Amino acid sequence: MKILIPGSFDPPTNGHIDVIKRCSKVFDDVLVGVIVNPSKNSLFATETRELMLTEIFTDTNNVSIKTFEGLLVDFAKNNEVQAIVKGLRAMTDFDYEFQMAQMNSNLADFETIFVPASPEYGYVSSSMVKEINSYGGDVSKLVPENVLKRMNNV
């Protein structure tokens, strides 16, 4: 089964990496979709977010990374995925993700599968990582090495 894990990945965190790795053990084929220009306040360019993920999963044969623009369901259809997978950290994620899952199902009959974040990453988010780093805080336990290097060079 081929699944799609979409997101902004600005930047990819250890929480994202954990969900992608776990999915790569359960599903045959994992496509990671990096949305183009998630917001005006993006820390990293689309190409950099894509490159960081590509570096991390270079040795994982069934994980591939692509960027996308427009509707998620169109990208999913064009890439012949069977379902969308979203990581859920806590109930605070649930309302919005549930609404998006129902909308995507309504738009194009796509199933969304929710995967719970591992407890050690339940509190990690890209926005908090960016904020902590911008004030000089230590994010070395929250992001992979290649992301940390780039964050310190931004």
* Active-site residue, 64 included: no
Q: Which of 3, 4, 5, 7 binds ligand PNS (CB under 6 A)?
A: 7
Other Cβ atoms less than 10 A from the Cβ of 92: the count is 9
Is residue 71 close enough to count as binding ligand PNS by CB under 6 A?
yes
| Token pair recorded at residue 92 | 């605070």
* Active-site residue, 49 included: no
Catalytic residue among 8, 16, 49, 86: 16
**Ramachandran class of 68: left when φ > 0, alpha when ψ lies in -120 to 50, beta otherwise:** beta
Q: Which of 17, 20, 23, 35 binds ligand PNS (CB under 6 A)?
A: 35
Nearer to ligand PNS, 9 or 27 (CB): 9
* Active-site residue, 16 included: yes
Q: Which of 2, 38, 42, 115 binds ligand PNS (CB under 6 A)?
A: 38
Q: What are phi and psi of 52, to 5 degrees?
A: -60, -45
* Active-site residue, 126 included: yes
**Ramachandran class of 107: left when φ > 0, alpha when ψ lies in -120 to 50, beta otherwise:** alpha
Please give the angle made by the CA atoms of 115, 43 and 39, to the nearest 5 degrees. Answer: 75
In the bound complex, which residue of the shown chain has the CB atom lying closest to ligand PNS? 7
Is residue 6 close enough to count as binding ligand PNS by CB under 6 A?
yes
